[in-house]
Chain A
Amino acid sequence: MKPFNHTNATSIAEIKTALADGKTTLIAGGTDLLGTLKDNILRDYPANVINIKTVPGLDYIKEENGMLKIGATTRLADIAANETIQKKYTALAQAASRVASPHIREMGTIAGNIAQLHRCWYLRKPENRFDCKRKGGSTCFAMQGDNRYHSILGAEGGCLAVNSSDTAPALIALNAKIVTDSRTIDAEKFFEVKKPGNTVLEKDEIITEIQIPEPPKGAKSAFIKFAFRKSIDFPIVNCAVMIGGDNPRICLNAVAPRPYRAVKAEEAIKGKSITEENAAAAGEAAVAEVKSFPEAAMFKKQIAKTLVKRAILSLA
């Protein structure tokens, strides 16, 4: 790792000022950032790192005004263990409990988990070996190269890398909002980025809170994940569903450059009883738009429809 200055911030304003110079990076749990710095995968190396964990009052889980509020620096382990979240916002607790390993869940924060950089072994090759599209370069190396874990729903801005957050699809299924120092963004819109990067956040914009409305009466949610190992691994595909209200919500991740709201699957299951047959139909609908490229798409498609079906069935 190269040397950088490290500052413990005491306020959001202080961080905002610091980030404005373009040479400073924010650190929370550091479980994604330190890996990128150690491997030196990006074009620019920050001169300064400013720590948000020392800003008081950002680590909380509370219900208020008919919604759940989670402070930006709340650790994933705390979310996974929180009884209210387990009971009412189940998909989020389940998603948080499946992130990486116990050590990483004790360090990683909810804001960091949704703001994490994409996963692609070209993008993440040490020493910025591949100056790819997502970094602002001209080539997506996965297009021609080994793309077995990449997008099966086409590229975004020419990039095939997938968003691998476990909590993002849960937040989208739960209709959450991301609050920053300057605005409130629908979780689904949070990832709609057109330029290089991974979220709509401006360079000096800071996530302060996650808000989740209380689920509609009778609604239940669930999250499931498929990975090769039971621990550590990022998802090959994951899936969160909320069913029971008027409008079911279903979101897949790691299948596309951003979390994929499976609208057709939602339509397929809307108003229907949860049966093996209906769940399977929703699964098929979820993958209706899957492309035939890359070659591994067939495999991920099979996993994705299975997860949608099973997530729905788990709420029967």
Chain B
Amino acid sequence: MTNKQNPDTQQNVIGRSVPRVDAPHKATGKALYTADMKLPGMLYGKLLRSPVPHARILNIDVSKASSLPGVKDVIIGKDTPGIKYGNWRLFPQTQDEFPLAMEKVRFIGDEVAAVAAIDPDIAEEAVGLIRVDYEELPAVFSVDEALAPGAPLIHDEIEELEGNISIDRNIDVGDLEAAFARADLVLDDTFTLHAVSHAYLEPCAVLAQPDTEDRLTLWTSTQTPYIVQCLLASTLGLPENHVRVIKPHVGGGFGGKMELRPWDFCAAFMARRTGRPVKFVLSRTEELATGRRRHAIKIRSKVGFKKDGTLVAKDFEAYLDGGAYNSMGPTATFLCGNFGAMLYRYPAYRYRGYHVYTNNPPAGAMRGFGAPQAMYVSETQMNIAAKELDIDPIDLRLKNAMVTGDAIEGVTKISSAGFVESLQKVAEMSGWKEKHAAMPPNKGMGIGCYSFISGGVFNWFNTPYHFSACEVRAYDDGTVHLLTMASDIGQGSDTILRQILAQSLGISVENIRITSADTTMTPKADLGTWGSRVTLMNGNAILDAARKIKENLAQIVSLKFNLNVIHEIAFADGRVFAKLKPERGISFAEAVAMWVTANRGRELTVRGYYTPRDKGLTTPAYSFGAQVAEIAVDPDTGIVTVEKITTAHDCGTVINPMAVEGQLEGSIQMGLGYVLSEKFVMRDGKTLNTTFLDYKIPSAEDMPQIESCAIETYEPEGPYGAKEAGEGLAIPTAPAVAHAVFEATGYRCKELPITPEKILRATGKLME
């Protein structure tokens, strides 16, 4: 606990619920999102999408669309430079997307053409006037179909590929066969996990403005301005620095906005052709029908235990339905394997992961990419094993739980783990021992646990720059300007990063101004908001910068008071002073003013950087946690009411309790949707439920009572000991609720989501 505190003051900024810097503007409707922006002469863009799942494009006739009054530009793939892109730049063969389809379309919704017109209705009308002749090809809509002999090749243009498996990933630890031979209980289960939507409130939007020179500015709803900048430049054939990407306020992303998207390209490309600003705003229907989604994964998991509950081995095989393009599928394939081996100690572990192309809308990153699916399986099997071995599910977990210092050989190591403490605390808070043993009929209590990364290590984007960077400018009025490419997409990083800087410089949060997520104005680079990386990675870059500011100001104070070299210089309460002689000090503002004078007018500006080094392949730090769900099942209708969710979680040092609470509540809502109500209704590659009426995210009234407790560990690699609290929390709700449903009904769900109909079927209510 003491580690997180600034030893020089009682007024800690870390651990305080500092109100969000963006809250007043958002609450009063003043915050500008991309869709709100207008520029003089602006054109409105619309996309033409493929109505068929797999086809060769024979001919496209845009003549009628082009001649419609008010239409200023119509483009198809052939008009563009035809350069492929994708986030996994390190492996160019994974970059499988064109901004607009060239030879083929591969899913219903694949972007084929774009129109820019003087108003959205004209653009819409023009899109309807484009005629495309398709030669339809056989299509596949599941992993099984895609891997069947004779299945059509979805990316026949990629020479390296022989079938529809685009990526595979193996992990081998220990002697699997020998380990299984020692097992007293072997579970062998197959799970079918479904695709769900990010359902961010703000649909994707972009506004591109051409510059007088060969340059352009792009405002776009993104989690990753740097990635958009780089990939947009490469697809346009421009130097990276000619593209400026600015992230305005963003209404959520959850992994769905971390790539260059066709509308980004089309807005930029048509803006350059027409010389006018071009804006695209996607509709909710477009988002739900064609947008990225969580990977549907089929997982076969074989896991062995000793009689006393000791885990001995696990054989984990995952087939990810990637849809038509790779998107972030390689990362999901990687993380699924990593998290199949997490939480518990497996002396032997084998993972075979396959990312498979189908003609479904592409899956991408979504809050945990690969990890929620892997841990739904792991946690459910822990609960099955607990039942089989007649051991309490929490005791079984405690017996095998990872602790600080554990490792997955050759993959990762755990530098801090509050998992055991989380299990103990959640058992205590929920009254597990007494309540779980004596649940009334139709009620159930279940447990699910999680771990997640605090940012990724593997440099798939192949950036030559630091993973995170910032610039800090200190002024003689005592204020500080923080410039960083880190992107606040609603998770609160603009506030959290200010807290970290305020704490380290000993000044108040109010004295820090932040400019963030503008690729031209902020130092290179920041890989963006994904993988729960911002607090740890950007926080460390800020600490690096703060250290440099403090070195400079310490010189000034030492000189002014002629301090002995052994003095520690403290920064607290807006002052810079000798720690042991606090009266020998000056205000932060004075110190900066003196530094400027001493440096003959130079501005006190420093840069800070962070890249995880020697931290394995996966992440510098893992969060952990345990969650208990209490539910009631209506035996006659099968409807599940989630009554209470209790969570104990280890996110290292909590920097802002209110922000963590917000993440937790949102995570539970998302987790409940995943396990109980959300599902895409697909028919031959077509998404049928494309509104929030038919795609059912839980409503406010469906939310349970929530109790939580932070188990504070100190993560040595984290700023002030902090780890992630963004994605991991969204993982445990699904297995916990599923376990509770089993306890209440005897129905063990291996095919999400759990619906009333499935429960009634399992309990024999639908027999005739």
A residues sitting closer than 8 Å to B (CB atoms) are: 2, 101, 121, 126, 145-146, 226, 228-234, 296, 298-299, 302-303, 306
Contacts and interface: CB of A to CB of B under 8 A. Distances in A.
The 9 closest A-B pairs by CB, nearest first: A230-B701, A231-B699, A306-B636, A231-B701, A299-B757, A298-B766, A229-B699, A230-B702, A232-B699
Given A126-B690, A299-B756, 5 more contacts: A121-B694, A226-B637, A229-B699, A231-B699, A299-B766
29 contacts: A101-B699, A121-B694, A126-B690, A146-B683, A146-B688, A226-B637, A228-B639, A228-B677, A228-B696, A229-B696, A229-B699, A229-B701, A230-B699, A230-B701, A230-B702, A231-B699, A231-B700, A231-B701, A231-B702, A233-B696, A234-B693, A298-B766, A299-B756, A299-B757, A299-B766, A302-B636, A302-B637, A302-B766, A303-B637
With a 10 A CB-CB cut-off, give which of A229, A230, A231, A233 has the most chain B CB atoms: A229
B689 interface: yes
A296 B757 CA distance: 9
Nearest to B289: A126
Nearest to A3: B121
Q: How many of chain B's residues touch chain A, expressed as a range?
A: 20 to 34
A145 B682 CA distance: 11
A231 B699 CA distance: 6
Contacts of B683: 145-146
Contacts of B636: 302, 306
A229 B641 CA distance: 10
Interface string B683-723: 10000111001101011111000000000000000000000
A274 to B, nearest CB: 17
Contacts of A306: 636-637
Q: Which DSSP category, helix, strand, loop or mixed, fits chain B's interface? A: loop
B681 interface: yes
B387 interface: no
Nearest to B766: A298
Nearest to A227: B639
A101 B702 CA distance: 13
A175 B533 CA distance: 62
Nearest to B689: A121
A302 B696 contact: no
A232 B636 CA distance: 22
Contacts, number: 51
A186 to B, nearest CB: 31
Interface in B575-608: none
A106 B61 CA distance: 48
Contacts of A146: 681, 683, 688
Contacts of B567: none
Contacts of B690: 126
A264 to B, nearest CB: 18
A234 B757 CA distance: 17
A228 B641 CA distance: 10
A73 B529 CA distance: 49
A307 to B, nearest CB: 8
B165 interface: no
A47 B639 CA distance: 44
Contacts of B768: 298
Contacts of A226: 637, 639
Contacts of A233: 693, 696
With a 10 A CB-CB cut-off, give which of A126, A146, A296, A302 has the most chain B CB atoms: A302
A285 B468 CA distance: 68
Contacts of B689: 121
B59 interface: no
A226 B640 CA distance: 12
Contacts of B696: 228-229, 233
B541 interface: no
Contacts of B285: 126
B765 interface: yes
A126 B688 CA distance: 11
Nearest to B699: A231
B760 interface: yes
Contact of B765 (A121, A230, A231, A302): A302
Contact of B760 (A101, A231, A234, A302): A302
B686 to A, nearest CB: 10
Contacts of B688: 121, 146
B757 A232 contact: no
A159 B698 CA distance: 30
B80 to A, nearest CB: 27
A37 to B, nearest CB: 14
A229 B693 contact: no
A225 to B, nearest CB: 11
Contacts of B756: 228, 299, 303
A126 B128 CA distance: 14
A306 B637 CA distance: 7
Contacts of B677: 228-229
